[in-house]
Amino acid sequence: MILQRIQRFIQHLSNHEILESIEIKDWRGKRGVYIEPGKYEFESEDSYLVNEGDWLIDSGTTMFLEKEVLIPAEWRNRPFGLTFLPGAKGRRTLHEGLVSLEGLAHHGIDRNRSYVPFPENVRGKEKIHIKIELFNYAGQTLDELNYQNEPAEYDPPPLTLLKGRLDLPNTAVQSLLATVKCYYETAKLLPEGDLGRSKIIEALTEAERKILLEMPEALTNGSWVADIEEDLKKRLSNLPFSNHGQMLMVGQSHIDLAWLWPIKEAIRKCSRTFSTMSTLLDENPGFTYAQSQPQAYVFVKEHYPEIYERVKKHIAEGRWEVVGGMWVEPDLNMPSGESLVRQLIYGMKFYKDEFGVQPRIEWLPDTFGYCASLPQLLKGAGIDYFMTTKMNWNDTNPFPYDLFYWEGVDGTRILSYLNHGLNEYTHPQEIQEHWNSFKQKDAHPQQMLLYGHGDGGGGVTQEMIDYIDRSKSLPGLPSVVNSTAHEFFDAIRDAHPPLPSWVGDMYLELHRGTYTTHARNKKWNRQAEVLYRDAEIWSSMAIHFAGANLSSSLEDGWKLLLLNQFHDIIPGSSIPEVYVKSEADYKEVFAYGEEVRHDALNALEKQINTEGNGVPVILFNSLSWIRSETVRIVGGPDLAGKGAVNQEGQELPTDCIQREDGQFELSVFVPDIPEIGYSTLWLKDLGKQVIQEQEEIGREWETDYYVMEWNEKGEISRLYDKKAQREVLPTGVAANQFQLFHDRPLLWDAWDIDPQFQDQPAEGVVLLEQGIRKGTTRDVIRFKWQLAQSTIEQDLVLYHHSKRIDFQTKVDWQEQHKLLKVAFPVDVVSNKATFEIPFGSVERATHTNTSWEQAQFEVCGHRFADLSEANYGVSLLNDCKYGYDVKQNVLRLSLLRAPKWPDVGADQGYHEFTYSLFPHEGDWREAEVVKRGYELNHPTVVISTTAHHGSLPSTHSFIKTESKQVILDTVKQSEDGTGLTLRLYESSGGRENISLTMAGEVLSAQETNLLEERQADISVQGKQLSSSLKPFEVKTILLNLSK
């Protein structure tokens, strides 16, 4: 009963928050469609008059409203502002807007805020020009599987102007109201009979009595109201307070740069969030705010320079904290190791160049799991701390720690914090829940609470700040103080409490479908990473060893690639418009890379001596080991009858086919192509016959490596390894088996795989066609299947000079809520499988003994997964896939999914990809499976040329390496333009030395961190240098070369 009276008192005060209100009449409005930043298509050049109660805009539409308002003389130089409330009566809306005053962007409005305080520099003016850019959310497709989205998201109502007024707030009542609410909510958390609860209720009841004894007009007397609040605070100042620890409050806003909105809308979200937070910082001297993602800052700098200048001022003051060293908050499962390095390089460089500061916290609250190589990469970029919230989303096993050391695959440890949640408030209840959830409070009595609206930005509200200002010492709760994230982490570092450790990858037990959904984007990402690696290597070689004058910077292309690795783009969890833009972005990314690679290879080609007997063809190998490969040369009818010879005139195994598009294709086996170098062969008329396809082939085939049999469905029923003299498959199984499952997750359609998919098999394949082309370099067995509503065509390639078996696959995918996997049961016994991750690999259990293993029914791997015994194993390689499961003795690769929300057309249509089976003697280390994965993904680049003399020999290596497991992954121009940067990593989990011999003289060499800041000199002898690497260590070396 008493609490009900206090609740009524709160309502009474709420009714008197405004002293005066003036309706703004006759806004001038224009409606249009937002095309891109700064570009709109308006319905008409004429404007409309708009008043309260009028229709504004339908969904997907933008409206500009303008009005010059006259300020009453008695208001001037007093706090006042604009209340602008669009909406739809009885329905929730997702409107957003940016309010500009006197031509300058000032503050955002959205469903969480409708009041805009006017700054001091305009309060004294007689007239103020107001401009509002208002957007009504465009909507998304309805989730017809689980109905997870709300009507405001899939059927946004038209907006009406509910309120558009100048308000003179009753600041004294607002302050008293905030105090009463804070203590009232605290009292509700305390148990009956608690002394603190009793005192709070007594003090609030006395304040209520004083106010209700007077007429309501008394509330306009600010000094009288302030006295009542002051007396209330005094009565509450001696509440019993048991120190439960301390809560450090840090304001923030999580901004998804694309998700249920396109990137162009995220740009406007950044403007609203950044302007609002700047205004709150101006109005609240104790408030602190943290913001991540350099890309978001770039958006504001380019499109809203006046907001950017405000942000820079607050950063310089130390109250706007930059966090998160990566360019965006990316996915941490699928990008390559080098992509993650570039996220850090470009992100940290931006912060330093723009603000003179660099964060020491990696800020990844919403990413869907974290690879085990990340701690080393963060530490190597000067990042000391790691923050996330996502591990609290596990669907099976609660993550055991909040404050801990995360130990990566190489042994690097980073202090890590798992925040309680995202988009949090600051009410006493949130503080209590946050503190109660804190698992390490006994080890360290300080916790950080990140508050503020997010996902679509918005950030902190004034109400959140008001609660913090009154929560310093509340009974039953930890003390509360404004702080920064860096202060939180630094205090832990200095206190050095005993904290637990988590070792290995942080696998998120959720969103497992993101390894597969929107397969085209994943393919483009892999291809772009390959292209940029090659482009940088060859441009560096051309500049340093062929005297070429090239512009080799790919920074713009890299940043566009990194943006598309954002954690809601590459995982496949965004709306269709995001992927239309992403496809256009990738075309631009490829154009950048192909131009740089073309110019570099062209410059090298001109310097290579190609004189010989026949038409010269140069084969460029960007990998750091000598490779032998069957290369493909495509051209017109002039290739018919051609064969290939090497420098010594020896004929190379060559096959010729005519493709369906009419082009001719030569397959040539070329041994010993030099590492980071090239080899030249010559084509000449050798009377080679064009190989024709045979349609009647039976169900068995034999090569020098294998005996293969397949069943009536075209699935492999037997694979005998002739070199190892053992069966690869168990008896009675089918391999290369396409398995189709119904896939209806209970939530998060595009994100999740139904945990029950294994028990929900769908249709099987029906073999339609088969044929074979037998050659001297490879035999190609062709199959075509019908699978439900889809068709699959596949070339099964058996090489004559390699044990790798390729499955070159084309799919016309027309399914709904289905999951397609390919399975290879193998005759290998092991309780663990190995999966490649960025710059390393991890082992995962093949059994389901515990709930932790059961939860990992789908995991991420890069170019390979391997199942090995002590002396034999089988690897499943791929050129663009990421979702694997390996249980018992079955290797499976996820190929395609068919979710319908938030993109109803996700993955529909044509797909082309290759996966490969690689049986091998020894385990994956002895078989150098890492290199086999590179070879599949980095085919030799073939350049046809003319015969000419050159300063470079016809066969040459620019960088020779002596190492078995160390991979020279990256060769590029240094960031400062002074030399050549090499990035290497140990790939097997062992210790190894590597020796490097450059094509030119090395003047000096330094080991650097990932940001290429010099750390130690490396001894150089002429053209040679060497280095030692620890297990899975990533090392960066900067070379100064002679000109």
* Residue 98 CB contacts under 8 Å (≥ 6 apart), including other chains: 105, 107, 108, 109, 132, 133, 268, 271, 272, 275
Q: What does the block give as tokens for 528?
A: 């772009």
d(Cα 623, Cα 619) in Å, to the nearest integer? Answer: 12
Q: Of 841, 833, 874, which is closest to residue 986 (Cα–Cα)?
A: 841
DSSP state of 763: P
Burial of 613 (0-12, 13-18, 19+ CB in 10 A): exposed
Mapping DSSP onto H, E and C, the string for 581-619 reads: HHHHHHHHHHHHHHHHHHHHHHHHHHHECCCCCCEEEEE
Residue 992 identity (one-letter amino acid): E
Grouping H, G, I as helix, E, B as strand and the rest as coil, residue 733 is coil
Both tokens of 166, joined, read 């100048």
- Residue carrying structure tokens 């570039």: 342
Under 8 Å between Cβ of 406 and 455: no
How far, in Å, CA of 353 to CA of 120, rounded?
A: 31
Q: How far is CA 20 from CA 122, 166, 168, in A?
A: 18, 8, 5
How far is the C-alpha of 580 from the C-alpha of 569, rounded, in Å? 11
Query: Quick check: 796 and 780 in contact, CB under 8 A?
Result: yes
Give the separation between CA 869 and CA 830, rounded to whole angstroms: 6
Bridge partners, 927 (sequence order): none
Instruction: State the catalytic residues.
Output: 366
Task: Report the alpha-carbon distance of residue 407 to residue 509 in Å, rounded.
Answer: 19
Q: Which tokens hold the place of 954?
A: 């016809």
Burial of 1019 (0-12, 13-18, 19+ CB in 10 A): exposed
Cα distance between residue 455 and residue 258, in whole Å: 10
| Tokens, residue 644 | 């290939």
| 325: its two tokens | 């060293």
Q: Name, in order, each residue with C-beta under 8 angstroms of 868's C-beta and a sequence gap of 6 or more.
A: 828, 830, 834, 874, 922, 923, 924
The helix/strand/coil state of 421 is coil
Look at the alpha carbons of 737, 741, 745, 750 in this order and tell me if their dihedral is positive or negative.
positive
Distance (Å, whole) CA 717 – CA 699: 9
Q: How far apart are CA 744 and CA 146, in angstroms?
A: 9
* Number of Cβ within a 10 Å radius of residue 893: 24
Chain center to CA of 951? 45
Can you tell me whether residue 373 is helix, strand or coil? coil
How far apart are the C-alpha atoms of 307 and 101, rounded to whole Å?
A: 12
Please tell me the total number of residues recorded for the chain in this structure.
1043
